[in-house]
Structure 1
Amino acid sequence: MRLMSVVALLLLMLTGCAKHPLYTQESYVFGTRVEVSIYGEPEARARRVTAQILRDFDQMHHSLHAWEPGTLERMNGIFALSPSKAAIAPGMIPIIRDATRYSEQSQGLFNPAIGNLIRLWGFQSDTFKAKLPDPAKIAELVRANPQMHDIVIDGILFHSTNPAVRLDLGGYAKGYALDVAASYLRSQGVKNALINIGGNILALGQHGDRPWRVGIQNPRAPGPIATLELRDGEAIGTSGDYQRYFEVGGKRYCHIIDPRTGWPAQGVQAVTVLVPPSAHAGTLSDVASKPIFIAGSAGWRAAAQRMGVANVMFIDGQGHVELTDSMKQRLRFEPRS
């Protein structure tokens, strides 16, 4: 979710003490604010690599957007004509296979194939109305049971065995973009950087002689509920009910849809996961928070274990904070006013 203001404040505090340059540039991609910070590089070089990252993000946004003209929207049109087949863009093959693997690992709680449900609730748009969908239509889409394994890739061709499949990679793309950006920065010899896509954050190296420090948004108050120091290669991701939501009859309905019911997950305010360094740390930090959120108070620990995530902060609907043992060692909670 969007922790940009918290991170920006922390970076400003750190910049004031910096002996070497900190270059930071912001943009708006994936429907959220994006910030790239590079430490200790000449400004011209930092500006050049940052510009390339933002160009890559913009290309990914258009390619992976489920509702605007582009690669994914074209694929969704083919899925709806099942069993029609078409040639697949080569770059989509590893993404589809990777998202399918995560979906199976989560036992279906992470399910990018439910794009039609997301559209029914109106969350495919940056703006949405405070209006409940027809329960009968929700039930119909749940019965259709679109799954990632309904997508078949055969050589250069793809199709779906279920016309109800509509891919929405909103819970995957930001993390994937983090990994792409981190790989590019490493290839350019940049050792110290912080990439923030709406609160999905990946760190490289350090901010001078100290680790990068980021804040985790309090889901019910301005500012951070806690801060932590990110080590080289670590990624952090948060899913919450406090940015994309509407209220009807005093009840909050957020954008995180439970594929089992077709309704927004309830009883959870936020989930934050911290993922150790790997080639896919960003992707996992984006994906894993969703099934943990949907699993709720009774099932979040089991969901975290299935996703292979040890560092978790879970905040229930009443604001009670639960932590895994390893996450307790990493967080510094802010004093309550």
Structure 2
Amino acid sequence: MLLVSILRKKQSTELKPFSAGIEIKYTRLLMGTVVEITLGGDNEQVIKDAAAAGFDEIARLEKLLSHYQDTSDVSMINKFGWEKPVKVSQETMDVIDASERVSEMTNGAFDITMGVLGRVWHFTKDDKGEFIPPSEDDVKKLLPLVDYRRIIIDRDSSTVKFAKDGMRINLGGIAKGYIVAKAVDAIKKKGVKSGIVHAGGDMFVFQEDGNAPRKIGIQHPRKKDRVIGTVEIANGAVSTSGDYERFFIKNSIRYHHIINTKTGFPAVGTQAVTIVANDGMIADAISTAVFIMGTEDGMKFIEDLPEVEGLIIDANGNITVSSGLKGRLSLISEIVF
């Protein structure tokens, strides 16, 4: 979660002054989280129509990409992909294709086939299971099914198939960033030129060139409703992966939803990662990958990527910032973890 505050109502509006006229915030419950669309302009009806278009696009794409939706492309792949090629939408193909590229870049730290581990790990009521850690034996039985290289993609026919029976995918580490960016595209088509779309840990800021950047709060991973600092964003995506959103504690151990694809257990050594990039989908996937990679390897990876910056908070609360982000980041002088 990125902004300092988030409204807990299913749908609401908030009107406040804006440099170009007015700024209106709309909220709606989608993708298992509160989605905020904040838009600026001088015509309230245009803003309202644009927000509706953004929410409609989010709802449409959620129906394609969520494994919680029984008829989604992802659910169809998981049900039938082991026996035959499954026809999917261009949007689903684009996300899976990008997922494979990030998997290759990160040597498998990011891998959508970790979805099979959802059979033994449960972090929300929608997962329909107990909030208890599985046995090592149960996890080890599933690890041979975690391998992005065993996804068979036919781009010409827009089909996806698994090379091995029992495989499953989960686009949770990349789809939300993609959907948020697509919502921005839908909003822009309605004539709105400035705003923020915010969904859980993913955000996209957009405005006309020359406007002052927005200051975006980065949430404290251990103190709800507090921030560790702010980052200035004029145009682009901000994605945060943290161990504090979906987790349970058992025997004083925190078990969270960001799974190390090599061990099958929650990644250790990191509390949160924030990535700033031009592409929302890539920012989302990289924040997940870097969380798993850890501070040393993760920061080296960030520094090697063009137009990508990041911040990593390790298990002890130490903060490491990429070279290109330091001039845009303001940290609170005394941060207590």
Alignment TM class, shorter chain as reference? 0.7 to 0.9
Report the CA distance between 1:325 and its aligned residue: 1.7
User: In the alignment, which residue of structure 2 is the partner of 1:6?
Assistant: 5
Q: Decide whether the 8 Å contact of 2:241 with 2:291 is kept in 1.
A: yes
| Cα-to-partner distance string for 1:153-180 (whole Å, 9 max, x where unaligned) | 2643432112232111111111101221
Q: Decide whether the 8 Å contact of 2:240 with 2:274 is kept in 1.
A: yes
| Cα-to-partner distance string for 1:263-291 (whole Å, 9 max, x where unaligned) | 1001111111111x3xxx11111111111
Select which of 160, 182, 202 maps to 1:180: 182
Report the CA distance between 1:17 and its aligned residue: 6.9
Alignment map for 1:153-192 (pairs within 5 Å): 153=154, 155-156=156-157, 157-192=159-194
Q: TM-score with structure 1 length normalisation?
A: 0.88
Structure 1 residues 29 and 22, CA gap change in structure 2 (3 angstroms): same
User: In the alignment, which residue of structure 2 is the partner of 1:231?
Assistant: 234
CA distance in 2, matches of 1:145, 1:209: 45
Q: TM-score with structure 2 length normalisation?
A: 0.88
Q: Decide whether the 8 Å contact of 1:293 with 1:300 is kept in 2.
A: yes
Report the CA distance between 1:212 and its aligned residue: 1.9
Structure 1 residues 303 and 142, CA gap change in structure 2 (3 angstroms): farther
| Cα-to-partner distance string for 1:175-221 (whole Å, 9 max, x where unaligned) | 10122122223333321111111131111116996322210001112
CA distance in 2, matches of 1:206, 1:6: 25
Select which of 313, 316, 323 maps to 1:315: 313
User: In the alignment, which residue of structure 2 is the partner of 1:66?
Assistant: 67
CA distance in 2, matches of 1:154, 1:231: 35
Select which of 204, 207, 210 maps to 1:205: 207
CA distance in 1, matches of 2:215, 2:303: 26
Alignment map for 1:1-337 (pairs within 5 Å): 2-6=1-5, 15=16, 20-70=21-71, 71-79=73-81, 82-123=82-123, 125-126=125-126, 129-153=130-154, 155-156=156-157, 157-205=159-207, 210-222=212-224, 223-232=226-235, 234-275=236-277, 277=278, 281-305=279-303, 308=306, 310-336=308-334
Q: Decide whether the 8 Å contact of 2:273 with 2:311 is kept in 1.
A: yes
Unaligned segments of structure 1, at least 5 residues: none
Q: Which one has a larger percent strand, Structure 1 or Structure 2?
A: 2
| 3-state SS, counterpart of residue 169 of structure 2 | coil
Q: Decide whether the 8 Å contact of 2:213 with 2:234 is kept in 1.
A: yes
How many residue pairs match? The answer is 326
| 3-state SS, counterpart of residue 5 of structure 2 | helix
Tell me the C-alpha RMSD between the 2 structures.
Answer: 2.6
Structure 1 residues 17 and 283, CA gap change in structure 2 (3 angstroms): closer
- The alignment-based identity, stated in percent, is 26
| Cα-to-partner distance string for 1:32-86 (whole Å, 9 max, x where unaligned) | 111111112311011011111101111211221113212211111112xx24234
Unaligned segments of structure 2, at least 5 residues: 8-12
Letter in 1 for 2:47: A
Structure 1 residues 309 and 292, CA gap change in structure 2 (3 angstroms): farther
Structure 1 residues 303 and 260, CA gap change in structure 2 (3 angstroms): farther
CA distance in 1, matches of 2:328, 2:6: 17
Which moved further from structure 2: 156-165 or 241-250? 156-165
Report the CA distance between 1:4 and its aligned residue: 4.5
Structure 1 residues 290 and 262, CA gap change in structure 2 (3 angstroms): same
Q: Decide whether the 8 Å contact of 2:270 with 2:294 is kept in 1.
A: yes
